[in-house]
Chain A
Amino acid sequence: MQLKSFQIRELQEAVALERSETAYKVLFVQLYQSAISFTTTITKNEEVAEELYADAMMKLWFMESKLTDIKDLKLYIFILLKNSALNYLKKERKQRFVSIDDIDRGDVPQTRSVEESLVFNELENMLAQVIDKLPSKCQIVYKLIKHEGFSYKHTAEILGLSVNTIEGHMSNALKKIGTFLKSLNLKD
């Protein structure tokens, strides 16, 4: 289940104005997978991603009524996560400056364990593996658009890249996935 933007808005208001823990829990749980997957692609470390997500959500809770000032909460959370993930990389690599262009360095994350892979059916599983092997930036752009339903503009805003670059990465990701699928010799 993907939350629709009007649903997010409703939950956001329930948290801000009624301090509803139930609404807060729904937001936390429903955005969890997307947020962790996104942040892990940058940090290459799932545990760190979990911590950063918890910190971001904690921040939202303590914004209290100011939370309603945020126009697009999901976009806001992803921007927050991108910034804290890059900050983490900066500390980790002891660099003064780290941008989204630097994230392809370092280890390839093991995002899917063997047991988890068994849950997917075979094609789904292979597709997931191809996506995992895409260059990090391609992968992030692909997931933000395909899985999260962000527009070019919002994806560009989250990553601090231009709209043209986003389209380039997305077409590139699709092409790589397409080439792989074709190699399987698909039949109906």
Chain B
Amino acid sequence: MARIQLKTISHTYHPPDLPEEEKAYAVSSLDISWGDGTSNALLGPSGCGKTTILNIISGLLQPTAGQVLVDDQDVTRLSPRQRRIAQVFQFPVVYDSMNVFDNLAFPLRNQGLPEQSVRKKVQEVAEILDLQDYLTNPPAKLNAAEKQKISLGRGIVREDTAAVLLDEPLTVIDPKLKGSMRRKLRQVQRDLQKTMIYVTHDQHEALTFADDVTIVKDGRLVQKGSPEELHSEPASPFIGYFIGSPGMNILGCSLKGEELRFQDFSLGLSPEFLSRIRGTGPDLQLGIRPEFIRVSPEPGENTVPFEVAVIENTGAYWVVTYVKESLRIKARVPESMRVQEGQKHYLAFPEDRVNLFQNEQRVI
């Protein structure tokens, strides 16, 4: 197991003879480090460069610039095999002409391991992945989840594997099996303490799998941290909106004296809060998660009247979309509260739950 580091990695798919200003970079100047034996996720919307990053780590792609380090050793010019990095692809890759046992044994036999140790290792891995009953079966008969386990098995069967990369491994898996597969991946990571990097555009998968989540947008690193950090302290409005379901409400506002002015209402601020944002410019964005907005049918101190526009029932609570002029805000409302479209509710924004952003950067 090993530590994986990216140092100022940039990559463009354009040919090198193209003038620099015409090149589009899939990823640019990335500096990321993943600790030894950790479970990590690489999260970002489709087309943000996740797969490019993954292929650069595994060595299937040579970056245009920058270095890849495995345990502080520069492996940028080494082949995937030499880097000892395994990869699980979006759709299951199994060797159809071999049975499950031979599939799992393939990387070991390629290493020239004696047959006795091959058998022992394969048995071990099959037990970890609950594949021991299928060892003599042809993989064609198995479902996508089991095939994906074989794929993973080929990665973890080698003792010297430095890291396992998972590229949206649950994409083609039956929704019913997704949950158990996700738990299996988590458990395998915990038990084996192998460095794993899980790439996905699905925040739920990322946050449940990883202790450390890296968010990438347009080929750039936007934030790296624990799921809790990303949730409560997003580095930018994008992350606030991207993480969480529904995402964070982002409202444009400006600081005038001791209050925040919105389109047609304003919020008074406490002296402590004001002191924390002193020195920022006037143009700000306020972010607040739907679950932290306090909703009441009666007016109270520092509340703003909003009208109920859309009610969505999630089963456990309502997600209500409120409107005021052109402003739209989503809030989570307990089911015990009676909500009807067109009703007027009073919304409060607790200061300790409020995030402020300026120029796409977090202020507080």
A and B: bona fide binding partners: no
Interface of A with B (CB < 8 Å)?
none
